[in-house]
Amino acid sequence: VRMLKELLKGLWKENPVFRLVLGMCPTLAVTTSLENALGMGMAATFVLVCSNAVIAAVRRFIPAKVRIPCFIVIIATFVTVVDLMMNAFVPELHAALGLFIPLIVVNCIILGRAEAFASKHSVALSVADGVGMGLGFTLSLALLGTVREILGAGTITLWGDWGVKLSAGGDTIILFVLAPGGFIALGCLLGLMNHIQSVLARRRGGSFEPPAHLDCRHCVICKWGA
Amino acid sequence: MKNIAQLVGVPTVICLLAGLLLAWVHGVTEQPIREAKRKQKMAAIKKTLPAYDNQPDRTVYAVVAADGRTNALYYVASRNGAYVGAAREVTGRGYGGELRLMIGVNADGAVHGLEVLPGHKETPGLGAKIASDDFQGRFAGRSIRDTVWKVDKEDGAIQAITAATISSKAVTEAVAAGLAEYLEHEAAIRAAVGADAAAPQEERP
């Protein structure tokens, strides 16, 4: 039951993109098409699950003072593994994602989960957390990628041979495959997610309360120096 | 002291294990990566050349500079022992960075095909259209000598993509440079047919 909870929280309640708003750099950069978004999501999920598992397994041996360098070495190792594997077996996708594969190292979702979860929980729970967060990340990217590809390029393409290829033809809103369109699409989807949550909460007869640690009212960053 | 030993020892062990894992993965993937690269190159060569029955990446003509560096590598294609065309890779400076193209010419002195290789960083929806069949087709069938290899804005023959002049220009200029060099070496490239003599396949860095 606990494992299922940890797995499911990443999909909705603590969705890394839409609720935690983490990992924005790859989110905005690679979601110009559904295919790239899925590839990025799966690569990050692999790294997240492996690094969570290893970090949870060795968490008792790592001295607290040097834990971050140790986490980074473990994460970077798996990122390099993914990089080599993708280069060998899916070269087209590897070429399309380019620099963003090595940059998974600095994806704050992965270090964030290592620090906030894997270093404090058992291997099984950490794997569940990794799978959930990874899937949440992948689905969010896929959603954003779908919206941007349809609006911006008028197509939906999945891996060549067995994929779907729709093409509307005619003019498209090119803005959506460019960076500003990424921000606009992300903002609209964030607003939509919040709206759905508040509607669901109202239907249950309450009002929408974001988890305390994610709540603007409990965050003081913007009051610093004021 | 015990504390320091631990602070140094644990990361050292982790790095060591990470290194071992990476060495193993590198060993496993080295061959597939090379094959994938060759397959990608062969696919581009095939698309840019007329039908051939040799192995163009084994029948190469290398333009070697005075300092011994390979400047360009021509993949020479033949059919029934007769020269049908040659392809080479050229690089251009696009809007988003370097872009790599494969261009192929046929025996009649015309461009047979152009292929923008994956990994370019042109703007999606604008400059990225250089990889479309529509744009690539604007080069095919044009005589190397009788074509003004410039975009139409500069009174050339190649119609640039709307709102992506820089990318279009980058491709056109790269093609022009490659073709000019091809003309210089054409005789030698034609003579390379039949020199399949197991020329070791050169890897470009």
pLDDT in tens, A60-71: 888 888 888 999
Is the predicted pLDDT of residue B37 greater than 70, yes or no?
Answer: yes
Which of A90, A94, A104 lies closest to A27 in space, CA to CA? A104
pTM more than 0.95? no
- Of all residues in chain B, the percent with pLDDT exceeding 90 is 22
Q: CB of A98 within 8 Å of any CB in chain B?
A: yes
- Pick from B10, B18, B26: CB nearest A61: B10
The mean pLDDT value of chain A amounts to: 83
Interface contact flag, A77 B22, Cβ < 8 Å: yes
Stronger pLDDT, A206 or B8, i.e. the higher one: B8
Interface contact flag, B6 A153, Cβ < 8 Å: no
Give ∠ CA B147-B150-B153 in degrees, rounded to 5: 125
Is the predicted pLDDT of residue B198 greater than 50, yes or no?
Answer: no
Is the predicted pLDDT of residue B28 greater than 90, yes or no?
Answer: yes
In this structure, the number of other CB atoms found within 10 A of the CB of residue A103 comes to 16
Cβ contacts of A149 on chain B, cutoff 8 Å: none
Question: B-side interface with A, Cβ within 8 Å?
Answer: 3, 6-7, 10-11, 14-15, 18, 21-22, 25-26, 29, 32-33, 36-37, 39-40, 118-119, 121, 123-126
- pLDDT value at position B203? 47
- pLDDT value at position B204? 46
| DSSP per-residue letters across A2-62 | HHHHHHHHTTTTT-TTTTS---HHHHHHHTTSHHHHHHHHHHHHHHHHHHHHHHHHHTTTS
Spatial CB neighbours of B176, under 8 Å, sequence gap ≥ 6: B149, B150
Find the mean pLDDT for residues A64-90.
Answer: 92
Interface contact flag, A77 B21, Cβ < 8 Å: yes
Poorest-confidence range of A183-192, B23-32, B58-67?
B58-67
Backbone torsions φ then ψ of A9, nearest 5 degrees: -65, -30
Tell me which chain B residue has its CA closest to the CA of residue A82: B25
Interface contact flag, A96 B29, Cβ < 8 Å: no
Distance between CA atoms of B138 and B131, rounded to whole angstroms?
A: 12
Give the DSSP letter of residue B61. Answer: E
Backbone torsions φ then ψ of B123, nearest 5 degrees: -60, 125
Which of B111, B117, B152 lies closest to B131 in space, CA to CA? B117
Find the mean pLDDT for residues A36-60.
Answer: 93
Q: What is the pLDDT of residues A121-170, one digit of tens each?
A: 999 999 999 999 999 999 999 999 988 888 887 777 776 545 566 665 66
In this structure, the number of other CB atoms found within 10 A of the CB of residue B191 comes to 13
Poorest-confidence range of A105-109, B27-31, B89-93?
A105-109
